[in-house]
Amino acid sequence: QVQLVESGGGLVQAGGSLRLSCTASINIVSPNVMGWYRQAPGKQRELVTTITSGGKTNYADSVKGRFTISKDNSKNTVYLQMNSLKPEDTAVYYCKVSYLVYDYWGQGTQVTVSS
């Protein structure tokens, strides 16, 4: 069993920044991949970014240059730094951990960007 707790969402104006956190109940050195997804109402959930246990990162084209994923293994926490936010970034953001053959999800945190 893996528990994920997210925080850091909120309301921000376009051009602003937010930092999301996701803390896991296991040592995040173990999971093969951790990442962030987002889902807007009426839309499919989409991949935002991932980071492997070795530190390799991947970003969706829509967020490259603006978002940064990082992790602190000592705190079992993965972060999503979001800069230059746009209204189209508005969504519920979910942390995901892929551990062994299982996927685990955080509860989701709302990010709203106003124009």
- Residues 4-24 have pLDDT tens digits of 999 999 999 999 999 999 999
pLDDT surpasses 80 at 50: yes
- Distance, CA of 32 to CA of 99 (rounded, Å): 6
- Distance, CA of 47 to CA of 70 (rounded, Å): 16
> Could you report the per-residue pLDDT of 68-80, keeping only the tens digit for each?
999 998 999 999 9
How does the average pLDDT of the chain come out, rounded?
94
User: What per-residue confidence (pLDDT) applies to 2?
Assistant: 87
Mean per-residue pLDDT for 27-54?
A: 91
User: What per-residue confidence (pLDDT) applies to 24?
Assistant: 93
